[in-house]
Amino acid sequence: MKGKIFILIISTLLLTINTLCQSTAIGRISAEIIEPIIITKNTDMDFGAIESNINGGDIELTPQGIRNTTESIKLSDKRTVSNASFKIMGQPKYNYSITLPNNANLNNNSNQLIVDSFTSYPSGTGTIDDNGNGTINIGATLHMNPNQSVGIYSNDNGLIVVVNYN
Judge whether 94 lies within some domain: yes
Judge whether 53 lies within some domain: yes
For residue 79, what are the domain limits?
Answer: 36-149+160-165
- Find the helix or strand (DSSP H, E) in which 9 lies: helix 2-20
Give dist(CA 161, CA 21) in Å, integer. 58
Judge whether 12 lies within some domain: no
pLDDT for 105-134, tens place per residue?
A: 999 999 999 999 999 999 999 999 999 999
CATH of the domain at 102: 2.60.40
Judge whether 80 lies within some domain: yes
- Positive or negative, the CA dihedral 7, 9, 15, 17 is negative
pLDDT for 66-102, tens place per residue?
A: 999 976 788 988 899 999 999 999 999 999 999 999 9
Judge whether 4 lies within some domain: no
pLDDT band at 11 (very low <50, low <70, confident <90, very high): low
- DSSP state for residue 164 in the 8-state scheme: E
pTM (predicted TM-score): 0.81
- Count of the separate structural domains present in the chain: 1
- Positive or negative, the CA dihedral 119, 124, 130, 134 is positive
Judge whether 25 lies within some domain: no
